[in-house]
Structure 1
Amino acid sequence: MTEATNPADLGALQARRLIARRQLSATELAEACIARVEAVDHAVNALVARDFDGMLDGARKADARQAAGEPLGPLHGLPVGIKDMNDVAGLPTTYGSEIFRDNVPTHDDALVAGLRAAGALPMGKTNNPEWSAGANTRNRVYGTTANPHDLTRNCGGSSGGSAVALACGYAPLASGSDLGGSLRTPAAYCGVVGFRPSFGVVPGIGRVTGLLPQSTSGPMARSVADCGLMLSVMAAPDRRDPFTMVVDGRTAWDPAGFANPKRVDLGSLRIAVTEDFGFAPTEAATRNHFRTALAALLPFLGDVEDRAPDCTDADRIFAVLRAVMFLATHAKFVDETPHLVGPNVTDNVAEGRRYSAADVAQALAMQGDYHRRWQAFFETCDFLICPTATVVPRDWHELYPTEIDGAPTRTYYHWLGLAYASTIPGHPSITIPCGRDANGVPFGLQIIGRRHDDAGVLAVAAELESIIAGLPDLAPRGPDIAALRRAPNLSDALGFYPEN
């Protein structure tokens, strides 16, 4: 069997159709995915806790149910990687924190339980930085995850393990979460698709700061259609999230519509484009690639204008509200076991303690104004297109970019402005692969839509994805699996485990 025909390289919808037609069994797919992990994970360190026996047992049971004529779930027989921020029964949930190195939950959390009920087969846990703080996937429990397209470079974060697992063919689907680009940045860096839904579409019942909804879970896959399929399962009604609108047991949105978005005529749309939203510290290399990609796409688009919403105070709003969230959830760890807490979390807690009640009140008021400005902007625009990340992937030893084109960054998350611009008002955003940067690493194109037009964002992204696939200079290419097989163990690299 060649790499090109290996079941591990199938997308979710492709694999699901083959299984339904009995041209592929769930067991065969699981075995192929396990073989891929065993062949290349030494080079990238993406799947840090594994339940291959459980996945194979689940696959055999799925095949038996199918043979018995039982109805098949939408994710029947599909392996899925689970970010190490979600509980899977019997597997460690460490959050990338040494404090929780030995934490093994006995039950699936709601997100994993929903995926399993739809037929998905959790295969293990994907790596993330400590408490998902930062966009470089490194922690002192499991070490570093490398970019499979260039093993010297950052794979992004915080859902870096999920993005790498997808790029390498470990599973057709993976879970991610996003506060300031945590699933979008790694998807962009690894050449896969990551979708951040509107607030409440995917319930966040474990969110401690329930009324500050900046963080949300979302689907990750190798295609827009596969992301939509996964979102249709994740978008469950659950009143425990105050932003999930549930009436008579149903949400205000149609989850099934995410799996079957309507076709859209790109030429009929009003599209805004921006390189930096007027505030994000975007490097010249990113701007240059974005301009080149946009020039290739313009013949397929209609009304395109270089403009962006008014993002006044974006940095201040995000900084204060992010720090408040970290203060609420992590201060006790910094106080009780400071030697077990990394620099990003420590800095965010310290930052939170510097803010006064007046600072928080002001940030909340600014967020309200920011939201209203974004709604006004989208009255005159249908979608916005921009780069996903301000910088191209750098050496993974660098905790975060401390400078961009010679200008210093203010915090470890300042460089994520292109992502958190849309986090603040809660708009849906997706990143899709769009060529490779000057270093040969994937580049992500970000599409943002109106709040709760998640289906519209998926539809536009699917059209752009199809166009990009036909443009030789922009069409996605996966990592070199044969080269990854031959690569040395990443764990032997100097600095694999970061220092506090």
Structure 2
Amino acid sequence: MAHPVTDTVTDPADLTATQARAMISRRQLSPVELAEACITRTNAVNHAVNALVAWDFDRLLDEARAAEAALTSGAPLGAVHGLPFGVKDMIDVAGLPTTFGSTIYRDNVATKDSAIVAQMRAAGGGVLGKTNNPEFSAGGNTRNAVYGVTANPFDLTKTCAGSSGGSAVALAVGMAPLCTGSDTGGSLRNPAAFCGVVGFRPSPGVVPGTTRGPALIPLPTSGPMGRTVADVGLMLSVMATPDRSDPYTFVTDGKTPWNPADFTRLPRVDLGRLKVAMTEDYGFSLTQNVVREAFRARCEALAPQFGQLDAATPDCTNADRIFAVLRAVMMLSGHATNMANHADQMGPNVTDNWNEGLSYSAQDVAQALSMQGAYYRNWQLFFEDYDYVISPAVTVSPFDWRDLYPQDIDGVKTQSYYHWLSQAYASTIAGHPSISLPLGRDALGLPFGFQIVGRRGDDLGVLAVAAEIEALFAGDATFGRPKADIEMLKAAPPLSQQDGFLGFA
């Protein structure tokens, strides 16, 4: 793997996925030892953050013992052999509940693994447990009426964002070296940014979306989360399978245009040959001044590394309108039964989005789809001149978890519960691969996420550039990856004792 992390690690729970996998292969680390370390860490800190909400540690240990036996037998080893991983509570793990963060599904227990979980297990991974998310992943604050809130490990009064918030926190505190996530309006990138880890949104179809209702609207996608760029590349190599169930996963003779194994061996990139655009707000995104200032500082540090760095942005005309209408279409597609039969159990975000959807006409939808076509073509023209775009990953610094979303940003009122996610959905609308890379902390002392966006289909390039930037700042006191204070978390009182822990308001 490119750019190995050089920090000295004494507890196996703090190893990156690539470090742990290499040590397992060399017989320097037992899969059982790693599983036990992750379980111990979870038991020590989960009370403070509430990241893991369902688990079967006995099964994980059985899987770890099987992984250890495979080492001694000389059997071929999968890419994630012996690595525990967390699974967002939107996808099935056989024998564990899949609640979607909804009281409607509080007692829903999965009978089989989802495709992603099955792939990870086939590649040697073991399930640590289910990670928390907002109700039906609607919103950027991980809290629901089933499991309660998940707190930011850097400040337990703040949100970890969402919707893959439990996964981001589990990674940040050493519960697991890898976690699944999904992303529509930044649900991989926002929590990664708030929690000091890496979240990667791939191009449509790279990770097949086999359960996506409106199959031809590829706004949602699953993706990998890890502590380093190499970690998410390793996980992506398992997730990026040829599957014709997704119309955006192109398969010829059983193969995709991308070689999944390439994600485990990221190429070196000469940053000095790149022409890069930098934008604080894509020309439309409400963005907090503290975020703008942090972004400028990182651009200043990186400017000498790039061949050319210009203040420029793709044309994002109608971005808010496009995202609002198409998101509402997906809500109407996914929640008709729930709203018809259980409207009283649906939380405010989904309910508001449902009602918004009902207010749109067929003409509104047709217009939004046409706008998206123009938006996409504008982005392709822009990327004829630039190799990559860099920006903040999120519009605001982490806020109080009791607030469902920021009502305003520096005094300007937000339009909806998802409007503050606009730094992320700018690239979602165009379908371009995007990564949130942790680069130090902002002026408030909280993690800062740096976003890199590449051409559609250039997933390998985005990962490779991110790895180069990560390597530049590895171990740097200002811009290196921030680390959560594990001892502070161990000593913290249970999060469940906090007022407002359970529910929406």
Q: TM-score, normalised by structure 1?
A: 0.99
Paired residue for 1:26, among 26, 31, 49?
31
In 1, Cα distance between equivalents of 2:100 and 2:55: 15
Are 1:448 and 2:419 an aligned pair? Answer: no
In structure 2, what residue type is equivalent to 1:223? Answer: T
Which amino acid is the alignment partner of residue 73 of structure 1? G
Aligned residue among 120, 131, 136 for 1:126: 131
User: Is 2:81 the partner of 1:65?
Assistant: no
For the residues of structure 1 that align with 2:421 and 2:18, how far apart are their CA atoms? 32
Partner of 1:309: 314
Give the one of 167, 171, 174 matched to 1:162: 167
> In the alignment, which residue of structure 1 is the partner of 2:150?
145
Residue 235 of structure 2 corresponds to residue 230 of structure 1 = yes
Kept in 2, the 8 Å contact 1:293–1:435? The answer is no
Q: Does residue 380 in structure 1 map to residue 385 in structure 2?
A: yes
Identity score, percent:
62
Q: Give the AA of the match of 1:52.
A: F
State the partner residue of 2:409: 404
Aligned residue number for residue 491 of structure 1: 496
Could you tell me which residue of structure 2 aligns to residue 171 of structure 1? 176
Q: How far did residue 469 of structure 1 move?
A: 1.6
Q: Deviations over 1:119-150 (max 9, x none)?
A: 01011000000000000000000000000000
How far did residue 470 of structure 1 move? 4.9
Give the 3-state SS of the residue equivalent to 1:128 in structure 2.
coil
Tell whether the 8 Å contact from 2:414 to 2:420 is kept in structure 1 after alignment. yes
CA RMSD of aligned residues (A): 1.1
| Structure 1: 4+ residue segments shifted above 2 A | none
> What SS does the aligned partner of 2:370 have?
helix
Residues in 1 aligned to 2:71 and 2:440: alpha-carbon distance in whole angstroms: 40
Aligned match of 2:79: 74
Is 1:6 the counterpart of 2:7? The answer is: no
* Cα distance in 2 for residues equivalent to 1:253 and 1:71: 23
Contact 1:218 1:231 (C-alpha < 8 Å) held by counterparts: yes
Q: Give the equivalent residue in structure 2 for 1:482.
A: 487
SS of residue paired to 1:431: strand
Q: Is the partner of 1:82 in helix, strand or coil? A: strand
| Amino acid paired to 1:309 | P
* 3-state DSSP of counterpart to 2:451: strand
Deviation at 1:4, TM superposition (A): 3.9
> Aligned letter for 1:322?
R
Cα deviation for residue 236 of structure 1 reads: 0.2
| Alignment pair present for 1:87 and 2:92 | yes
Q: Deviations over 1:57-91 (max 9, x none)?
A: 00001111111111111100000000001100000
Cα shift at 1:472: 2.5
Gapped regions of structure 2 (runs ≥ 5): 1-7
- Corresponding residue for residue 207 of structure 1: 212
Measure how far apart 1:499 and its partner are.
Answer: 3.6
Contact 1:276 1:282 in 2 (8 A): yes
1:323 to 328, 333, 336: 328
Aligned letter for 1:334?
M
Task: Output the CA distance in 1 between the equivalents of 2:180 and 2:113.
Answer: 14
d(CA) in 1 for partners of 2:13 and 2:446? 22
**Match in the other structure for 2:4:** none
CA distance in 2, matches of 1:239, 1:473: 45
Specify the code of the residue in structure 2 equivalent to 1:255: P
Paired letter, 2:55: R
Residue 465 (structure 2) pairs with residue 431 (structure 1): no
Q: Which runs of 5+ in 1 are unaligned?
A: none
Q: One-letter code of the match for 2:126?
A: L
Count residues in correspondence.
Answer: 499
- Partner of residue 303, structure 2: 298
Q: Distance in 2 between matches of 1:60 and 1:109?
A: 23
Deviates more, 1:146-155 or 1:289-298: 289-298
